[in-house]
Structure 1
Amino acid sequence: MRKLVLFDFDGTLADTAPDLALAANQQRERQGLPPLPYEQLRPMASQGARGLLRVALGLVPEDPNYEAHRLQFLADYESCMNQHAALFPGVRELLDTIHNHGHAWGIVTNKLEYLARPIIRHLGLETESAAIVGGDTAGHAKPHPAPLLYAAQQAGFEPHDCLYVGDDARDIVAGKAAGMPTIAIRYGYGCPEEIPDWQADAVADSPADIWQAVQKLSAASNKGTA
């Protein structure tokens, strides 16, 4: 049976951390602060402005100055977001394999859609993706299941015929809430030591491992509906 494999974007399909870290350090420069090491900012990449501003400037959403800094961060990021963004090694081959086996794939990210689409286009994925859903597309962001359910609907699939792949706990929470088998990856921006606590249906160390997990979970799903 044909499946739809949905992916988180940042830290799952694409390595966008270098440009996010650049924008974060621009916020520090604006405050007269020295740049932080890339290694300190990279783990925050999946958390977007919220995580990066917390580390870069010690700001949280409740801070009265947070929104102004968030908007500046987004503007700075938009101006540099395609400087270093690249697919993780093996991702292009993974997507081709999914397509060549008759399945479809799509993207569900918490990145705002106006930022996500230009990067997805830059990386050559836009025309091939069966659905592209940003954090503001469906009225809710992950861990709410609405973005995943919206993507399934847009691509013409029932949720039980979809799988969701991500590198953050909220990806797994959203996938489970949407009724989709989930795959957690270790090579992204999340903390590998925490992955067992997420209780994903499968764990992958590389894009090649994702395809193996997709095959196993698809076979199990097909048996359950037979």
Structure 2
Amino acid sequence: MKRLAIFDFDGTIFNSVDDVFICFNKALELNDFATWDYDEFFDILGGNIDEMVSLILRDRNTPENIDLIKEEYARFYNESLKENSLPFPGVHEVLRELQNRGMLIAINSNRSNDSIEYFAERYFTDIDFAVIEGHNPAYPSKPRPCGIKKMRKKLDVSKEECIYIGDSSTDIQTAQNAGIECIIVKWGYGNRDDWESEYIMGAVETPSEILKYF
């Protein structure tokens, strides 16, 4: 019997790429680095902030440049209203239904805890997230399974009692590395290869389809 639903955040619960894209391009332009086209930007999503900035800077990804763009991006992002970042339609209702069924709900993401908690407090005040495991520089980020191992230990949940819900190959690799089952959503930032992965239980078109796995 499943007890724990572990959700990825960006691309699964939240459509957040527009604000991230805008703020990264502002940071790049301000410092005379090449900016990105919107469609290209999707190819670098999924890693932690250091990995993303390294890819964003292409062949100019020196440690100094990475630190510079991280700082500039953080300034722009923290000052922004984040008005383009919203939950995907129907996800909130699924979280509420899982909670009503007595399921534990957790988030495992390469976004920082502070950022995830900001959005959770703004949009999901009625959802009691059992654990939020965001990016922590002290631990390896996804697809390493450190976050999942920590939450399983804290909640005393077995591998067989978990389902990981994500949108991309990073999430599939994370679930596989943790030895737990995985569902992929089609409304996020993944692609057909992710939807057709042999590892996953299935790929869902709408949030309500998630409920059939519980």
Q: TM-score range by the shorter chain?
A: 0.7 to 0.9
The letter for the 1-side match of 2:79 is S
- The question of whether the paired residues in 2 share the 8 Å contact of 1:107 and 1:132 is answered with yes
Indicate the larger mover: 170-179 or 26-35.
26-35
User: Identity rate of aligned residues, in percent?
Assistant: 22
3-state SS of 2:46 partner: helix
Task: Quote the Cα distance in structure 1 between the aligned partners of 2:48 and 2:139.
Answer: 18
Task: Quote the Cα distance in structure 1 between the aligned partners of 2:146 and 2:60.
Answer: 25
Q: What's the counterpart of residue 82 of structure 1?
A: 82
Q: What's the counterpart of residue 181 of structure 2?
A: 181
Per-residue deviation, 1:180: 1.2
Task: Quote the Cα distance in structure 1 between the aligned partners of 2:174 and 2:84.
Answer: 28
- Unaligned 5+ runs, structure 2: none
3-state SS of 1:170 partner: helix
Q: What's the counterpart of residue 164 of structure 1?
A: 164
Q: What's the counterpart of residue 151 of structure 1?
A: 151
3-state SS of 2:141 partner: coil
- Unaligned 5+ runs, structure 1: 216-226
Q: Taking CA–CA contacts closer than 8 Å with sequence separation of 6 or more, which of the two structures ends up with the larger relative contact order?
A: 2
1:163-208 residue CA offsets vs partner (Å, 9 max, x unmatched):
1111121211121222211111221112233432462222212212
1:109-137 residue CA offsets vs partner (Å, 9 max, x unmatched):
11122322212222225851111011117
Q: What's the counterpart of residue 102 of structure 2?
A: 102
Q: What's the counterpart of residue 58 of structure 1?
A: 58
- The question of whether the paired residues in 2 share the 8 Å contact of 1:172 and 1:200 is answered with yes
3-state SS of 2:110 partner: coil
Q: What's the counterpart of residue 224 of structure 1?
A: none
Structure 1 residues 75 and 116: CA distance shift in structure 2, 3 A: farther
- The question of whether the paired residues in 1 share the 8 Å contact of 2:53 and 2:69 is answered with no
Q: What's the counterpart of residue 223 of structure 1?
A: none
Structure 1 residues 171 and 188: CA distance shift in structure 2, 3 A: same
Q: Higher strand fraction: Structure 1 or Structure 2? A: 2
Per-residue deviation, 1:59: 5.4
- The question of whether the paired residues in 1 share the 8 Å contact of 2:140 and 2:146 is answered with yes
Alpha-carbon RMSD across the aligned residues, in angstroms, is 2.6
Structure 1 residues 106 and 75: CA distance shift in structure 2, 3 A: same
1:50-69 residue CA offsets vs partner (Å, 9 max, x unmatched):
336634x4356555422221
Indicate the larger mover: 70-79 or 29-38.
29-38
The TM-score, its normalising length taken from structure 2, stands at 0.85
Task: Quote the Cα distance in structure 2 between the aligned partners of 1:126 and 1:58.
Answer: 42
Task: Quote the Cα distance in structure 2 between the aligned partners of 1:131 and 1:122.
Answer: 17
- The question of whether the paired residues in 2 share the 8 Å contact of 1:184 and 1:202 is answered with yes
5 Å-filtered alignment, 1:31-42, equals 31=31, 36-42=36-42
Structure 1 residues 176 and 48: CA distance shift in structure 2, 3 A: closer
Equivalences, count: 213
Structure 1 residues 125 and 132: CA distance shift in structure 2, 3 A: farther
The TM-score, its normalising length taken from structure 1, stands at 0.81
Indicate the larger mover: 156-165 or 120-129.
120-129
- The question of whether the paired residues in 2 share the 8 Å contact of 1:54 and 1:60 is answered with no
1:7-41 residue CA offsets vs partner (Å, 9 max, x unmatched):
00000001111110111121233035786543443
3-state SS of 1:111 partner: strand
1:50-98 residue CA offsets vs partner (Å, 9 max, x unmatched):
336634x435655542222122222322222632211101101111121
